[in-house]
A and B are shown apart, each in its own frame.
Chain A
């Protein structure tokens, strides 16, 4: 029997206050099992994005610890946190953030080349991802030629190409029409499942929440399971 894998994300006792002094959360705990898809909902301004930033190592908690696939973030230097992000995390943003002057394949391959892979390895991998997301053969196109839904597919491909342990998605369907949103969520789910990545999806959308294994709501009192 194989040794049990560490959780994809383990957050315990997390406390964070805004510079003004308002406490966003205090003593927050969260365990995401490998391959588990979590949706986090909550009111605007409650601190969902801040939570994601803390998990990504882009912001520092006032207290508490975060571990990604068993590696603790606390105490890591900026460079080490950057490396951790590069190797273990994938990102999907509301605003897509696809670089306009890189080709689609180059955009998807970014996590690989940032990890010092050569173009000879990274680009074929990106083309393979393009096929999976239904944009086969468009690797040399530029983002300007794409619709919003297509852009987000590129983002999903980029988030998964380096087989991260955890995908962080901040309102991935926020800029999309409902139909497109549905298809994108399905794709995200399918791809996460196929690579075995866990995902934390921050969303306002019930449809988005519906695909998750677990739906949590961020409130002033911490993360609570959504009442069904």
Chain B
């Protein structure tokens, strides 16, 4: 009972402190609020985006219990349909033709290639009604098409109008017979009759999907086994669980990255609370000592400071949740559900309030605030009251050096964690390494400050203000370190991200230059299911003004039901010199006689363990064909893997001579702007409208714009981390200068001018900014190495070359020094405006 917290006393102390220093309380609560808000907002956006993505997927898929899917867009033979239909346990089965398609009246355009795209689904309504009723609407007949609301809007067409759809290199006109009532609002789907789809889009005898509904008493495992034994090489059995995994893996790394960034913001907020709390506790040392003298037990004091932290955390967290919800709303309406990452298509997810996650993030905020208060609280409770009562603020002995080893241990652990492999396909230990490095870097700050300032201290003939500032920083490293926490944490994170993004962007740019050597590139939209036939190729190649033309066939291959398809790119590769067309990583292997060589992208190494020298089985031409992995190339375009193959090999294995892209070199005397229309005219009708022509410069600019857009949220989070850091500096300085009012009064008494004190404060701020900035820079570069060499390869399966943005470093450092000096001056002005005589007499 007596050891408990005297409640009235605690309440008086808390309310009294808050009344006296509301700005300080608000700042600390805001820091937590910003952290919680960012974390919660990113989580909300991710959750809703994933949710809407899943809804979109299930709306294309209907709600089948199981699905057999084609491994390639060419589909599988329709004979599979009656075989599976007769299996016991299969209650209903709906054959589906599914093709990527475009509306002909919307010309493709590099900038908005997604516009006009629809998923064309051909089905037999009589079968589909039992399996995927959401895809069945008012019967449209053979000449009718049913559009989802999203397709209707995106294609800008009304019911009853005609629309020409292009897929697999063919076009056909339909009458819009109605809307698909059951389809998700954010997915562009066009449903036509299966027979029409087969006939008019070159799919006779082929199906891309079989949607299956199981009988109520069927054993799913037995049915799955029975189906699997009947599947040909070019079909794969998918279940809703595998779909969910695939959806998840599609964007998981990106989402985890964002959540980590948000947690970093929360952590930075925690640093700010820590610095605010520890300064506030240091400042109130004599007050706490008085309470101890008057009879407040040690543990009660500890509890009181913790309660203070918890109260700050609670206020900040509640504010943060509200802020986060608002932020998420704005982000979703401005940037879309993927926050610009390009993972979820054009849909706009809808946000609701999520009480569970809200509670979790509020809890994290409170815990961060309490942990941040724990250290200062323990310090306050441990202080000898008789000593503390007489000293204003914790000063410590300037000769005592801070310990270096705890920070060094953390840094070493961070280094070790960075070497660890991914866990569950995520670089969790990579993130742990980042956190350890950050903590270690901050922990070494006190020692580092002395180390960095030691040479300066011995300088003589310095202006008195600078001299005083140096001595103070060197003498009170603990306090300086507290002030530096925020700077170092946010600077290092910013630098780490900046180095990573710069390296990534630079590597992407190099890669773009390497893969775009020709003058003109042709891409046929929606040609996955067909393409330009040899006659068309010959006609195109005969266009006057062409020096050379290289045709490419790109086909998505589904290698595993729970992973997104990989892209097979058949192109004119010279077996002896694959490096001429591919940006190879390492030396390619010689191809043994009789083998079909392929060259895989880096992602294939990670996802399918496709090491050079091993063999892969690829579903080409309706059979599983063994191929030899001859090398690895760098590809930033397809996170889920790409395989390059010589086109002659592909045609031999598949019998598919159609092409979906071409790289064209013009004769030197040819005007490229005139060549493009000529090329378009040379294409057969149906394909001409779907042809996208690009020139390298424009394509590079486009790719980098997309790159920047997808990193927009990263930049925003970084900026917020920096702002939190600067707010921390400002808060620290204002707290410190207030605590030092007496010192300033004394200095004024002994004849130091107000201007000189201002200069001293400015110098202190600038020095802190410089030291913090340099330390943050060093730490950030180390952390960026973890991002570049651990987190990125493990998340996205690509590597990049490190590039240091020196210009940015310089700007950042200057900004930090100026901002820190400015905030220090600003805070000092308030402390100096008081009456100097009074300041000396005042105790605290």
| B838 (CB) vs chain A CBs: closest residue | A144
Q: A58 is contacted by which of B3, B286, B287, B385 (Cβ under 8 Å)? A: B385
- The residues in A between 12 and 29 inclusive whose CB is less than 8 angstroms from any CB of B are none
- Asked if B423 lies at the interface with its beta carbon under 8 angstroms from chain A, I say no
Q: A122 is contacted by which of B2, B8, B298 (Cβ under 8 Å)? A: B8
A-B contact pairs, 28 of them (CB 8 A): A58-B386, A78-B298, A79-B297, A82-B298, A83-B2, A83-B295, A86-B296, A97-B389, A97-B843, A99-B16, A99-B290, A100-B20, A100-B844, A101-B16, A102-B12, A102-B13, A102-B16, A106-B16, A110-B9, A111-B295, A114-B6, A114-B291, A114-B296, A116-B1, A116-B2, A117-B8, A158-B294, A175-B841
| A159 (CB) vs chain B CBs: closest residue | B294
The answer to whether A86 touches B294, judged by C-beta atoms less than 8 angstroms apart, is yes
| A91 (CB) vs chain B CBs: closest residue | B293
| B293 (CB) vs chain A CBs: closest residue | A91
The answer to whether B8 touches A95, judged by C-beta atoms less than 8 angstroms apart, is no
**A91, A95, A119, most chain B CB atoms within 10 A:** A95
Known: A101-B16, A116-B2. A111 touches B294 (CB 8 A): yes
Known: A99-B16, A102-B16. A85 touches B9 (CB 8 A): no
Q: Collect the chain B residues with CB atoms within 8 Å of residue A116's CB.
A: 1-2, 4, 6-8
Q: A101 is contacted by which of B8, B19, B286 (Cβ under 8 Å)? A: B19
The answer to whether B20 touches A101, judged by C-beta atoms less than 8 angstroms apart, is yes
The answer to whether B9 touches A114, judged by C-beta atoms less than 8 angstroms apart, is yes
Q: How far is the CA of A159 from the CA of B19 in the complex (A)?
A: 26
Known: A79-B298, A83-B295, A111-B294. A106 touches B12 (CB 8 A): yes
| B11 (CB) vs chain A CBs: closest residue | A119
Q: How far is the CA of A96 from the CA of B390 in the complex (A)?
A: 11
Q: A113 is contacted by which of B2, B3, B8, B841 (Cβ under 8 Å)? A: B8
- Asked if A73 lies at the interface with its beta carbon under 8 angstroms from chain B, I say no
Known: A101-B16, A101-B20. A79 touches B8 (CB 8 A): no
Known: A83-B2, A86-B295. A93 touches B389 (CB 8 A): yes
The answer to whether B297 touches A95, judged by C-beta atoms less than 8 angstroms apart, is no
Q: Collect the chain B residues with CB atoms within 8 Å of residue A158's CB.
A: 294
The answer to whether A82 touches B296, judged by C-beta atoms less than 8 angstroms apart, is yes
- Asked if A134 lies at the interface with its beta carbon under 8 angstroms from chain B, I say no
- Asked if A115 lies at the interface with its beta carbon under 8 angstroms from chain B, I say yes
Q: Collect the chain A residues with CB atoms within 8 Å of residue B20's CB.
A: 100-101
The answer to whether B9 touches A113, judged by C-beta atoms less than 8 angstroms apart, is yes
Q: Collect the chain A residues with CB atoms within 8 Å of residue B841's CB.
A: 148, 175
- Asked if A140 lies at the interface with its beta carbon under 8 angstroms from chain B, I say no
Give the B-binding residues of A (Cβ under 8 A).
53, 56, 58-59, 78-79, 82-83, 85-87, 91, 93, 95-97, 99-102, 106, 110-111, 113-119, 122, 148, 158, 175
- Chain B nearest CB from A60 CB (Å) reads 11
- Chain B nearest CB from A196 CB (Å) reads 20
The answer to whether B386 touches A119, judged by C-beta atoms less than 8 angstroms apart, is no
Q: Collect the chain A residues with CB atoms within 8 Å of residue B299's CB.
A: 79
| B16 (CB) vs chain A CBs: closest residue | A101
Q: How far is the CA of A51 from the CA of B255 in the complex (A)?
A: 65
- Asked if B292 lies at the interface with its beta carbon under 8 angstroms from chain A, I say yes
* Chain B interface size range: 20 to 34
Bits for B365-402, please: 1 = Cβ < 8 Å to A, else 0: 00000000000000000001110011000000000000
Q: How far is the CA of A87 from the CA of B6 in the complex (A)?
A: 14
The answer to whether A83 touches B297, judged by C-beta atoms less than 8 angstroms apart, is yes
The answer to whether A58 touches B293, judged by C-beta atoms less than 8 angstroms apart, is yes
| B290 (CB) vs chain A CBs: closest residue | A97
Q: Collect the chain B residues with CB atoms within 8 Å of residue A114's CB.
A: 6, 9, 291, 294-296
Q: How far is the CA of A116 from the CA of B4 in the complex (A)?
A: 9
- The residues in B between 505 and 555 inclusive whose CB is less than 8 angstroms from any CB of A are none
**B3, B7, B291, B294, most chain A CB atoms within 10 A:** B294
Q: A97 is contacted by which of B2, B9, B286 (Cβ under 8 Å)? A: B286
Q: How far is the CA of A78 from the CA of B382 in the complex (A)?
A: 11
Q: B8 is contacted by which of A53, A87, A99, A119 (Cβ under 8 Å)? A: A119
- The residues in B between 6 and 34 inclusive whose CB is less than 8 angstroms from any CB of A are 6-9, 12-13, 16-17, 19-20
Q: How far is the CA of A82 from the CA of B297 in the complex (A)?
A: 6
- Chain A nearest CB from B382 CB (Å) reads 11
Q: How far is the CA of A56 from the CA of B53 in the complex (A)?
A: 70
Q: How far is the CA of A53 from the CA of B387 in the complex (A)?
A: 10
Q: Collect the chain B residues with CB atoms within 8 Å of residue A175's CB.
A: 841
Q: How far is the CA of A99 from the CA of B1 in the complex (A)?
A: 25
Q: How far is the CA of A54 from the CA of B77 in the complex (A)?
A: 97
The answer to whether B386 touches A53, judged by C-beta atoms less than 8 angstroms apart, is yes
| A148 (CB) vs chain B CBs: closest residue | B841
The answer to whether B292 touches A95, judged by C-beta atoms less than 8 angstroms apart, is no
| A158 (CB) vs chain B CBs: closest residue | B294
Q: Collect the chain A residues with CB atoms within 8 Å of residue B2's CB.
A: 79, 83, 116
Q: How far is the CA of A15 from the CA of B19 in the complex (A)?
A: 45
Q: How far is the CA of A184 from the CA of B4 in the complex (A)?
A: 35
The answer to whether B17 touches A101, judged by C-beta atoms less than 8 angstroms apart, is yes
- Chain A nearest CB from B385 CB (Å) reads 6
Q: How far is the CA of A99 from the CA of B293 in the complex (A)?
A: 13
Q: How far is the CA of A117 from the CA of B287 in the complex (A)?
A: 20
The answer to whether A82 touches B386, judged by C-beta atoms less than 8 angstroms apart, is no
Q: How far is the CA of A63 from the CA of B251 in the complex (A)?
A: 72
Q: Collect the chain B residues with CB atoms within 8 Å of residue A79's CB.
A: 2-3, 297-299
Q: Collect the chain B residues with CB atoms within 8 Å of residue A110's CB.
A: 9, 291, 294
Known: A99-B16, A106-B16. A115 touches B295 (CB 8 A): yes
Q: Collect the chain B residues with CB atoms within 8 Å of residue A58's CB.
A: 293, 384-386
The answer to whether A91 touches B287, judged by C-beta atoms less than 8 angstroms apart, is no
- Chain B nearest CB from A71 CB (Å) reads 14
| B843 (CB) vs chain A CBs: closest residue | A95
| A90 (CB) vs chain B CBs: closest residue | B294
| A175 (CB) vs chain B CBs: closest residue | B841
| B12 (CB) vs chain A CBs: closest residue | A106
Known: A59-B386, A101-B19. A113 touches B843 (CB 8 A): no
| B21 (CB) vs chain A CBs: closest residue | A101
Q: Collect the chain A residues with CB atoms within 8 Å of residue B843's CB.
A: 95-97
Q: How far is the CA of A13 from the CA of B727 in the complex (A)?
A: 56
Q: Collect the chain B residues with CB atoms within 8 Å of residue A86's CB.
A: 294-296
